[in-house]
Each structure stands twice: as structure tokens, then as C-alpha cells.
Structure 1
Amino acid sequence: MQFWMALILTLRLVQPNTMMNLLGHLNGISQQKKVYLAAAPQCPFPDTHLDTAIKTDLFDYVWVQFYNNRDCQYAGNASNLLNSWKTWTTVQANQVFLGVPAAPEAAENCGFIPVDVLKNQVLPSIKRLLPSMEGTQKDPNMTARKQLSFLLLSLLIISLCKSSQAAGIAIYWGQDNNEGSLADTCAAGNYQYVNIAFLSTFGNGQTAVLNLAGHCSPSANTCTRFSSEIKACQGRGIKVLLSIGGGKGTYSLSSANDAKQVANYLWNNYLGGKSNSRPLGDAVLDGIDFDIELGLTHHYDELARSLNGFSQQKKVYLAAAPQCKFPDDHLDAAIKTGLFDYVWVQFYNNPTALCQYSGNANNLLNSWKTWTTVQAKQVFLGLPAATAAAPSGGFIPADVLKSQVLPSIKTSTKYGGVMIWNKNFDNGYSASIKSAV
């Protein structure tokens, strides 16, 4: 398998005439011992580099990369992909494979297909297209082999994609009724993560309360309408998390047992568990964001451990939004557990901590360097989307961010991208920086 991968990558770099000579020699060797030939073209048809080679009719496997190519990949619906698939099944090859990324992070420009969508919408359709390929068979057994090939998904995690550390933009949504719908937020194409804000009351024996400003009323059970929008976001490969805490609210954890009870509540009402009163309906969120700014500082490490324990049933992504002052007053112990996937540091509204942008980036860059030492998979640069979004400062003009800040912080192996507060204030800011993120 490793040899096939190496051969595929080599074919991308050689000239057509050289490629044809190479294929001829390899096919000739098959008279001594079978040499299997595979190709991994991009889904735009025909492939710029491999079209001539594929037309030789010498390839046993063609696994088409239906990702990182917006015109022929899955993007919330499968129409473009299925049309492209139909074209690719006409090539002269023994078997054609559906190449998809194993996770949203595996493909910089997307194309990830959630498992349920793949099984329910895509695979049934490409199965129906298989009979039209019978005319290209090389032997009587090819029908059976082609009917099985659609199951052998080519999960190509190779150098053509970024690693699982691909950068992206996270946004907070839910605190202003004028910010638009959740579905529209995800459809904008600017974000890879959406934090639904906030679960502002929890712990210490209190009844948990979801506060989405004017969007809906949990007590009237009207927030369940966001279930379909959450699923639509996830269908685009966007991770949707519930943010707990915030700058206003009544929350705290009184004990380790209290932390466990809150974790159970979050699992059953927002994550992969079961409850008859799920505030956001039957949508299963991807994880929990800790935006802890008030109250007691204890037991959030135990909350993180309890939530992480549920990952044995379904992965629970954990995020934290500490202040840029290091270490954070409320989340230091939690972050030190090493369980957090994303730490988006708030480099704003902290004027006395000397860690935010204030006409020059020196303090911010020094603070960033410190934050990249924490035990977390990825660290994000948290910024306000506009001056009005952070009354105590920290806004960075897009041109300054792109020319002075991002080039420096992107050198860190833990760089995960940019977090933006919040959707209501994001009037073009994320769109102007996303190509540089």
C-alpha cells in the first residue's frame, strides 16, 4: 500500500512522456509479477496531471479526490459530487473509488461528508450508477468487483491535505437577535467552529439555563427549532459547541460531585446522551466550550475530566476561552489536564494585563508565545470582530493582523487559527482575514 501511494505522488511530478514510459515499463513487469497501478486524480474532470495516464486503460484503481475542490465535492448537498462521480465512472479503470477526507480537518478546503450523510445520501446513489460501468470491464468478474468498490472508501490522508491541525476560524453566536440565524452563519463559509453562547446558569444546585438572547425562549421550548440548523452546520463539516459561562450569569461548581452532575446534564441534554427535555432538540453537539469568567475557580478540571470520560461513547471536543493574562484565574487547572482540543485565548478586554494589541503587537506576541506552552492540541488567537465588540480594547485591523501578527504566530506548531467575538459584530472581518488564517 505504501508503494502505491509513492507511485501516485510521483506521477504528479513527471512530464507526460516520461509518465507514459514509466507506465509501460511497470505494466511490462506484470508479465513476471503482477504490478497493481493506482491513480489519485482531483475530482475536476479530466485531471490535469493524470488524464493521459488513466486513458492507457492500465490502472487497477482510480481513487478520485472528492475534496479540496469546491466544484465537485460535498458542500452541504451531494449534487456536485454525484454529477462528478457519474463522469468519473466512465474512465477506463478496473475500479473507481470515492476519495473522502476522514475528518473536516483533513481537507483544508473541505469536502468532508458526515458518516450518516455518506451512508444515507451518497452511497445509495453511487451504487445505482454502477451498472452503467459494465461496458468498461476487462473481465467477467468485474461486475462483482465494481459493485464492491464503492464500499472501499479511499480515505486519503496524504501530503496533498493539511494535517489534522489545519487552521480555521471560530465564532461565537447567540448573544444578539440581529446577528442572523445559525444556519446563515454556517452557510457564510467563513467558520470552521461555532460556539453557541451561552449556558449562563449551572452548578451549585441551580437549574441550568440556556440564554440565547432574543433568538428563542428555552422555557417555551422554542430553542428546539435550532436542531435542524445545527445539523446543517455539521453537514458542512463545521464543529458546533455549546459555550458555558460567559461574562454575565450565575454559575459555579461547588464540589467534584457537582462537576460530575453538570457533566451528566450536558451529556444528556446537549451531547450524545438521552433526555426528554433537550433544549436544542435532538441535534447532538460536538463539544463544550469553557468560557468561565465569573464565580468560583474550583472544579472545572473535574468537569473536563468527566466530560472527557463520555468520549468513550462519542468524542466530546473540549474548548476553553481563557483571558490572555497568564495563567488564567478560572481555567488554569482545567487546561493543565491536557484534555482540551482547542484553547482560544481572549486577547482583548484585558488592558492592564499587557497581553493585547494596543497600537503595536509586542505584548500580544509575547503573551502568545507563553500560551503556546499549554497542554492543548491547538491554540487560537481570540480577537474582537470590531472595536465595538471589545470596549476595553484589543481590536486589530485586518491589514495589521495579516501583515504583522499572523505571520509570527503561525510559526507555532500549536497554532489553530483565529477565534472571533462575535457574530453580531462580524461585518466582513472574518471574510477579510480567512485567506491569511
Structure 2
Amino acid sequence: MALSSRRILVIFSAVMICFLATPASADDYLVNKTGQLTVFWGRHKEEGSLREACDSGMYTMVIMSFLDVYGHGKYSLDLSGHPLGPIGGDIKHCQHMGVLVSLAIGGFGGDYSLPTKQSALDLADYLWNAYLGGANKGMRRPFGDAWLDGVDFFLERATPAEHYDVLAKALATKHDTGSKPLHLTATPHCRFPDSFVNKALATGTFERIHVRFYDDPECGAYWEQQWDKWTAAYPGSRIFLGLLPSEEQGEYWIFPKDLYYGVMPVVQQAPNYGGVMLWDRFYDERGNYSSYVKYWA
């Protein structure tokens, strides 16, 4: 995670001094828990099925990734070799268990952009009819009649001229006409603001923002300030702490004890703290991080 080890040790030491001086339960430090834990699924064929992710009992939202081709009249879904056939049934199974299932657009590869307002409106129509509550008979639905719960903006590139704000407003309008909520979320980089998704977030239509506190070394040294900027800028959105769940993922992973005593008490002070996001299911299964974080979130 993009929190420097030196910074974590300073916070950890300060909190432990208070802990030793006050005869209170450790749970007293986690005062604004929501129990919300989001995970990304779809980037590794070896991570198991969507159904298995939901059956773990760890997650309250699973975001499939990615729809990574759009904006030029073509659309393509990349789930790293997962067979599409069973996923419609898995989505319904997850939803029956109370787990929200969403779809992320963008990602690290692919061919995506929204160069015109019309391309943004076309993408909104496509998402609505192919994955959400639409019923356009000419539109192929990869997951059959399964109706996803939301759309996540996970942008690794965009220009100020692109029209993700138009897309966000169009999806919010379709949300207003649907028979169930549409959860509009974004997963920006840590450093505020994220220029790729800034225009879209400015629409005020996003329910949740999963901030990736693991991909920017400069952000890591000042993570508290960055967290405060995100929570202050979007008081109407729930802000999630984005983490890496396995030590295998590199230097930005946080040891569980440091997370519990040094980070969670800080982020939970924000009135719009939402929970924790993990990138991703494959590494969480290997590291079993969610077994700790689930009860701290």
C-alpha cells in the first residue's frame, strides 16, 4: 500500500502509547465500522469462480473487471479466461446472498476512450441494455437476464476532453428510471485529484469512491492528507480505503497489526468513511487478508 513504512511506524507507536495508557478494549479504536468490504474479481483465471468469491462470506461487493473496449462502436469484456456461461447464475447467487455485483470499465489494457458526447451516451445505452435493466432485444447480454448492481469507473487513461461526466450523468438518469438501485462507483488513484476521473466525480453522482492507496510512492508519505482531501471533496460519497491483500504484491502491503492500530482508527474518523476495497480476489485468496479486514472495516 502507498503508505511509507516509516510513516506507519510513527502512527503505530503513537497509537500504542495511547493504548497502553488507557485501559480500554482495542475495539474502542474502531468507532465507525461499516462492515463494507469490496473486492475486484476477474483478473486471474486461477482465482476461482465468482460464486466461490461470494460464498467465502468475506465481501459485500464484488466488482468484475474489465469492460476494456468501448467508445468506438465496439465493446469487449476481458475476464482473463473465465468462462462466461456460468457467470449469470453466479451473479444471481451472489445477489441472493446479499452481495452486490458490479462491472468495472477501463482497466490497464484494452482500447477505450470517450472522445465525443455521443460515444458516452452510446456506452451508457450499451451498459444499460447488455448488463443492467434494459431490454433491447437486439442487444446481446453476456450474462443472460442477470441484472448487475452497478458500474465502476476504473480509468488508467483519459484526457480532459473525454466525456466521462456525460456517461456518469446518463447512468444516473437510467438509475432513476430503473426498478432497483444502480450503484455508481469509481476507483481512482491515491493522489488527489485523479485527473482521469475528476470530471466524472464532479457530477456528484457517485455513491462510493474506492481510493487506491497502493500505487503512488509520493502519495504514501502523506497518505493522511490525501485521505482528508478525498473525504472532504466528496461528502456525499462513501470513501473506501483501497489496499493490497498479499505481501506478494510488494512494498505497499500493510502488515495486519499496523493496519489495525495505525490506519483504520485514522480513516474511520471521517464521517463518510465507507469501508475497505481489496485489489484483488486472487491475492486475497492467497494471503487471506480479508479474514482480518472484514471485521475491522
**TM-score band (shorter)?**
0.7 to 0.9
SS in 1 for 2:296: coil
CA contact (8 A) 2:65 2:78 kept: yes
Q: CA deviation at 1:296?
A: 3.1
CA contact (8 A) 2:190 2:215 kept: no
Amino acid at match of 1:189: G
CA, structure 1 residues 249+295, in 2 after alignment: closer, same or farther (shift >3 Å)?
Answer: farther
Amino acid at match of 1:340: F
1:62 counterpart residue number? none
1:214 counterpart residue number? 81
The answer to whether structure 1 residue 291 and structure 2 residue 131 are counterparts is no
The answer to whether structure 1 residue 278 and structure 2 residue 278 are counterparts is no
Within 2, Cα distance between the matches of 1:211 and 1:293?
15
CA contact (8 A) 1:193 1:240 kept: yes
1:258 counterpart residue number? 119
The answer to whether structure 1 residue 425 and structure 2 residue 289 are counterparts is no
Q: CA deviation at 1:317?
A: 1.0
Q: CA deviation at 1:242?
A: 0.3
Amino acid at match of 1:171: V
Q: What are the superposed Cα offsets for residues 322-352 of structure 1, whole Å, 9 maximum, x if unpaired?
A: 001111020111111110000000111212x
The answer to whether structure 1 residue 311 and structure 2 residue 175 are counterparts is yes
Q: CA deviation at 1:172?
A: 0.2
Larger Rg computed on CA atoms: 1
2:203 counterpart residue number? 337
Find the partner of 2:259 among 395, 398, 401.
Answer: 401
Within 1, Cα distance between the matches of 2:231 and 2:252?
19
Q: CA deviation at 1:364?
A: 1.5
CA contact (8 A) 1:269 1:279 kept: yes
CA contact (8 A) 2:67 2:76 kept: yes
Within 1, Cα distance between the matches of 2:168 and 2:233?
15
The answer to whether structure 1 residue 372 and structure 2 residue 235 are counterparts is no
1:144 counterpart residue number? none
CA contact (8 A) 2:35 2:296 kept: no
TM alignment of 1:124-273, pairs within 5 A: 166-203=34-71, 205-216=72-83, 223-273=84-134
Percent identity between matched residues is 37
Within 2, Cα distance between the matches of 1:343 and 1:301?
15
Q: What are the superposed Cα offsets for residues 200-235 of structure 1, whole Å, 9 maximum, x if unpaired?
A: 1111x241100000212xxxxxx1421110011111
Instruction: Note the residue ranges of structure 1 that are not aligned, 5 or more in a row.
Output: 1-162, 217-222, 357-361
The answer to whether structure 1 residue 326 and structure 2 residue 187 are counterparts is no
CA contact (8 A) 1:382 1:418 kept: yes
CA, structure 1 residues 174+213, in 2 after alignment: closer, same or farther (shift >3 Å)?
Answer: same
Q: What are the superposed Cα offsets for residues 41-67 of structure 1, whole Å, 9 maximum, x if unpaired?
A: xxxxxxxxxxxxxxxxxxxxxxxxxxx
The ranges of structure 1 where at least 4 consecutive aligned residues each deviate by more than 6 angstroms after the TM superposition are none
CA contact (8 A) 1:335 1:374 kept: no
Q: CA deviation at 1:394?
A: 2.2
1:100 counterpart residue number? none
Query: Given the two structures, how large is their TM-score scaled by the length of structure 1?
Result: 0.57
Within 2, Cα distance between the matches of 1:168 and 1:311?
22
SS in 1 for 2:128: helix
TM alignment of 1:73-88, pairs within 5 A: none
RMSD over aligned Cα, in angstroms? 1.7
CA contact (8 A) 1:385 1:430 kept: yes
Within 2, Cα distance between the matches of 1:267 and 1:305?
13
SS in 1 for 2:228: helix
Query: Given the two structures, how large is their TM-score scaled by the length of structure 2?
Result: 0.83
Within 1, Cα distance between the matches of 2:112 and 2:35?
32
The answer to whether structure 1 residue 384 and structure 2 residue 252 are counterparts is no
CA, structure 1 residues 190+339, in 2 after alignment: closer, same or farther (shift >3 Å)?
Answer: same
Within 1, Cα distance between the matches of 2:159 and 2:112?
8
1:411 counterpart residue number? 269
Find the partner of 1:348 among 196, 214, 226.
Answer: 214
CA contact (8 A) 2:35 2:295 kept: no
Q: What are the superposed Cα offsets for residues 15-44 of structure 1, whole Å, 9 maximum, x if unpaired?
A: xxxxxxxxxxxxxxxxxxxxxxxxxxxxxx
Count of residue pairs the alignment pairs up: 259
Instruction: Note the residue ranges of structure 2 that are not aligned, 5 or more in a row.
Output: 1-31
Amino acid at match of 1:208: Y
CA contact (8 A) 1:167 1:415 kept: no
1:78 counterpart residue number? none
Amino acid at match of 1:347: F
Q: Which has the higher contact order (CA 8 A, sep 6+)?
A: 2
